[in-house]
Structure 1
Amino acid sequence: MTVTDDQQVLDRLSTLRQHQQEGRRSPHKPLLVLLALGRLAVTGSSALPWSEAEERLADLLQDFGPTSKTSRAQSAAYPFTRLRADGVWTLDQNVPMDTVGPLREGVTGRLEASLEAALRDRPELLGTVARGLAESHFPGTVAPDVLVAVGLDPDLLQGRLTGAAPGARRRSGAWPARVIEAWDRQCAFCGFDGAAGGAVVGIEAAHVRWFTLGGPDDLDNGLALCSLHHKLFDRGMLGLDDDLGVVVSRRFSARTPQGQAVYDMHGRRLRPRPGTPPPAERHVAWHRQQVFQDAALAG
């Protein structure tokens, strides 16, 4: 179907079919579209040879997707071949779904022609689409990193979509303050409690199960975290075990004493103040399965 206006472009690219069940993350197609948008913004063409996509898309899925036992090449082949069914992606050869071998014969994918033309001619529309995809599939701590990784400007996130999708959930404006107060206005992981006068500085309310993936604005789905540990928690470098102890991913590394201080948090138990509900087991399990990267450090 040929697109003729901005709303059709937004509709086509915001309704990608994804395999999502019970909060399971599936960012494969959005990451491929974002990668193509990055190429289009830089080169004027969204054409993406499999010889490049096999590595770049696999890297994106490893860095920003849930941990998977599927091979890197196979993980990248899923969206590269399946996005055709959404009517927004084409391949220059007719290859089977999910099969890596034929892709290595020199296959190139790209956004559907009318979509690519509309996005190339209207850079502001490209930015709106990229912003919408990043905000819909990743929390605010991670979305800028995703845009940088695909070659787009993270300042795109300073704008906002003109209207929310019909039926979209609305965040609670009171929830962040309630969470921060419940955790004594300090980081639940490291204890940082910076303030400027009477206002906290660098302390943020973090969803354990992401709001974008069905996480509720409940106290048992929230942690007060400093900006650094909020970022590391949402990137899957930090997590929680069944006993609410902090765990550090084997993928995290640091060379300086300041960075290596993160290692020292491994095994540290959360100590919510009396009356503050700890993160619910179901939300912790979701984070462990869908966000935490690789495995925890030994010991």
Structure 2
Amino acid sequence: MTNLTDQEVVDRLTSFRQYIHDGQRVPHKPLLVLLALGHLEREGTSAISWSLAEQQLADLISEFGPPSRTGRPQSAAYPFTRLRRDGIWTLDRDVPDDNLGPLRDSDVTGRLGSELEAALRERPSLISAAARRLVEAQFPMTVAPDVLSAVGLDPEYTLGLTSDVTDQALRRRRSSAWRQAVLDAWDRQCAFCGYDGQLGGAIVGIEAAHVRWFNLGGPDVPDNGLALCALHHKLLDRGALGLDVGYRIQVSNAFSARTDTGKVVYELHGRELRARPGTALPKPEYVHWHTTQVFKGLALTA
């Protein structure tokens, strides 16, 4: 038995320090915690050897983290060594921060703190509670299920979970009027492809998308929103689509498709947003945030 309450367990797993530089989002530590939670749920232990974590964590950072400013893969050693400073992660050997050599030479193993792991074993629902809070704080809901699947957690169960422990984390509430205002401003059709499907007079598959993610400081204002079909909303939030300073749609060179249907996305590249009179285009600072924090790789060449 542990003396930690449910709230204390979830708070400790989700309240660690995150590196911030020039507004750059750094979800590296949250991704490591999520990886450990998924491992604990599947294997009964959160222990992860560096030989396993190096590639798995690097892949998660590459797929769900911000684009690399150097063009080189971002090292998994940063979260693997530095998370121990937050009191929730331990290594079985004392190695320097960020140093790959000692991690590889000794195949160091990391794991959640013993008290935390014991509490999670006693109360397995806290694994999902902590995972839900982490993904809701770090990613939009278009991306959260993909993150959870990638770390081996069930998105449907985790995101469907409701409890006082998780709900207390949702301090910022979305504007109930913002979604409809954005859809109306863009004539209830996708700003990228023009799709405007309806069923019995109700729109189907058109969503209000934040350019700067809501959970990372993006406000519910008209010039931070676009009406997009569900596919293009997802591709925007995953960094496959973006905008340039001239409000032309950009397709990432990291995106690929094999079929004619998939290749239709390529045809969006260079297309200019055409808003109706009076509709606010996304504010340049929000477009810049998306370009530097979300958009993957370089844009396709014309």
Is 1:165 the counterpart of 2:166? The answer is: no
Write the distance in 2 (CA, Å) between the matches of 1:57 and 1:125. Answer: 22
Q: Which residue does the alignment assign to 1:145? A: 146
Query: 1:79-126: per-residue Cα shift (whole Å, max 9, x none)?
Result: 000000110000000000111111102101000111111112211111
Write the distance in 1 (CA, Å) between the matches of 2:259 and 2:91. Answer: 46
Offset at 1:4? 1.8
**Amino acid corresponding to residue 300 of structure 2 in structure 1:** L
Query: 1:40-69: per-residue Cα shift (whole Å, max 9, x none)?
Result: 000001111111111000000000000112
Is 1:128 the counterpart of 2:132? The answer is: no
**Amino acid corresponding to residue 160 of structure 2 in structure 1:** Q
The runs of at least 4 aligned residues of structure 1 exceeding 6 Å deviation read none
Write the distance in 2 (CA, Å) between the matches of 1:117 and 1:224. Answer: 45
CA contact (8 A) 2:193 2:268 kept: yes
CA contact (8 A) 2:133 2:169 kept: no
Write the distance in 2 (CA, Å) between the matches of 1:39 and 1:117. Answer: 14
Query: 1:237-263: per-residue Cα shift (whole Å, max 9, x none)?
Result: 000011000111111111111100000
Residue 71 to residue 268, structure 1, CA distance change in 2 (3 Å)? closer
Write the distance in 2 (CA, Å) between the matches of 1:217 and 1:82. Answer: 34
How does 1:218-229 map onto structure 2 within 5 Å?
Answer: 218-229=221-232
Q: Which residue does the alignment assign to 2:193? A: 190
RMSD (Å), alpha carbons: 1.4
CA contact (8 A) 1:134 1:146 kept: yes
How does 1:53-202 map onto structure 2 within 5 Å?
Answer: 53-68=53-68, 69=70, 71-72=72-73, 75-105=75-105, 106-155=107-156, 156-162=158-164, 163-165=167-169, 168-202=171-205
CA contact (8 A) 2:38 2:153 kept: yes
TM-score by length of 2: 0.95
Residue 266 to residue 193, structure 1, CA distance change in 2 (3 Å)? same
CA contact (8 A) 1:48 1:108 kept: yes
Is 1:270 the counterpart of 2:273? The answer is: yes
Q: Please give the secondary structure, in 1, of the residue aligned with 2:75.
A: helix
Offset at 1:7? 1.2
Q: Please give the secondary structure, in 1, of the residue aligned with 2:90.
A: strand
Residue 3 to residue 239, structure 1, CA distance change in 2 (3 Å)? farther
Query: 1:161-184: per-residue Cα shift (whole Å, max 9, x none)?
Result: 523338x22110111111011000
Offset at 1:196? 1.1
Write the distance in 1 (CA, Å) between the matches of 2:200 and 2:118. Answer: 52
CA contact (8 A) 1:25 1:66 kept: yes
Offset at 1:70? 6.9
Offset at 1:148? 0.3
Offset at 1:20? 2.5
CA contact (8 A) 2:223 2:282 kept: yes
Residue 3 to residue 59, structure 1, CA distance change in 2 (3 Å)? farther
CA contact (8 A) 1:3 1:115 kept: no
**Amino acid corresponding to residue 98 of structure 2 in structure 1:** D
CA contact (8 A) 1:132 1:161 kept: no
CA contact (8 A) 1:23 1:214 kept: no
Write the distance in 1 (CA, Å) between the matches of 2:111 and 2:92. Answer: 9
Q: Which residue does the alignment assign to 1:51? A: 51
CA contact (8 A) 1:23 1:213 kept: no
